[in-house]
Amino acid sequence: MSDQFNDWNQRIIDTFRANAGEVPQFGRSLVLVHHIGAKSGLERVSPVMALRDGDDTWLIAASKAGAPENPAWYHNLRANPEAEIETPDGVVLVRAEELVGADRDAAWARFTAVSTGFAEYEAKTTRTIPVLALKRRSEAASSA
């Protein structure tokens, strides 16, 4: 990953944390996904746009701005689905589940309805952009 991309992500993360989850151009629509590297085992943090799906679920799309490959965080969440997100309202323990079929398509339609950028990303790539549901989990469930 380029230093320029890392710097941009770090500025977004810093702004998110300094402003209670409010980031210019994104408003309060981002979450910071804490994920464990599939190969490295190291914790990473990625800012990702999220759509709420009820009180206990956040939808995220692995668009990577229409790049030909999925973002690293997607692979990490597939390998290590138990994660933590920072939301504008606090930290939440979650479990990532990839949506498939009609569920994925319906969730993806929500992303393209919210931002034309997602339709542009889809047009730039030949891959089907994955959508994951981050579902709240309890402390007890994570230690079992």
- Tens of pLDDT, residue by residue over 17-60, are 999 999 998 999 999 999 999 999 999 999 999 999 999 999 99
How many domains does the chain fold into? 1
Do residues 77 and 60 lie in contact, with contact meaning Cβ atoms separated by under 8 Å? no
pLDDT > 70 in the chain, percent: 92
What pLDDT score was predicted for residue 142?
A: 47
Whichever domain contains 117, its CATH number is 2.30.110.10
- Host domain of residue 40: 3-143
Mean pLDDT, rounded, for 55-71: 97
Please report the DSSP string for 98-123 in residue order. E--HHHHHHHHHHHHHH-HHHHHHHH
Mean confidence (pLDDT) of the chain: 93
- Which DSSP symbol is given to 55? S
Paired with 49 in beta bridges are: 30
Euclidean distance between the first and the last CA atom of the chain, given in angstroms as a whole number: 35
pLDDT above 70: residue 87: yes
